[in-house]
A = this chain, B = another copy of it.
Amino acid sequence: MITTANIKNGVNVDQLVETIGAVQGNPELAKFEFRTKNNWIEGGHCVSSMKSFYGVGQEDTSRQETFTMECDHPNVLLGEDKAATPVEVVLHALGSCLTGAMVYHAAANGIDIEGAESSLKGGCDLHGFLGLDPEVRKGFDGITVRLKVKSDASEEQLLNLAKFSPVFDIISNPTPISIEIVK
């Protein structure tokens, strides 16, 4: 007998249901730790690499490739513009995560997503970063996302699905960051 995997929106729904069942059977499987190493090059230019992570009760052994990505700053921010700025990278992570969350949860709920694209904007005022005004935020004062989706589901349904995004939670709610400086 030939069986066909139940794929919706590019997501293997059978595997998704299995994952939910496995986590319900053994809550420890749900614990993940993601890691990134970052190396300074010069000025505001850095390169990161990521490969290992922990999840499903063990150190991952499936990932073969080490991913690398850079950050730099444009000329007006004293960089050489060799890569996107860290704040643009945050928008990339957010856009990808909102979309991915919407697509996965749509698949789990039997909702077809035929297409999705988004544009994200974040504003900031350098008085914060430059230390010229302690009342001004160093980061974005806010982010706006316009997510265009081709689907029969309603805007409200799609928004509720997108809000399962981990990066949406990380940014919109306070996330504690502990920094240890080592000489």
Rounded to whole angstroms, the CA-CA distance of A29 and B139 in the bound complex is 16
Q: Give the shortest distance, in Å, between A155 (CB) and chain B (any CB).
A: 4
A1 at the binding interface (Cβ < 8 Å): no
B86 and A96 form a contact (CB under 8 A): yes
A: interface residue count bin: 35 or more
Say if the beta carbon of A97 comes within 8 Å of chain B. Answer: yes
Q: How far is the CB of A157 from chain B (nearest CB, A)?
A: 9
- Chain A residues close to B by CB (< 8 Å): 9-12, 15-16, 19-20, 23-24, 27, 29-46, 48, 50, 53, 55-56, 60, 62-65, 67, 69-71, 73-78, 81, 83-101, 103-105, 113, 115-132, 137-151, 155-156, 158-159, 162-183
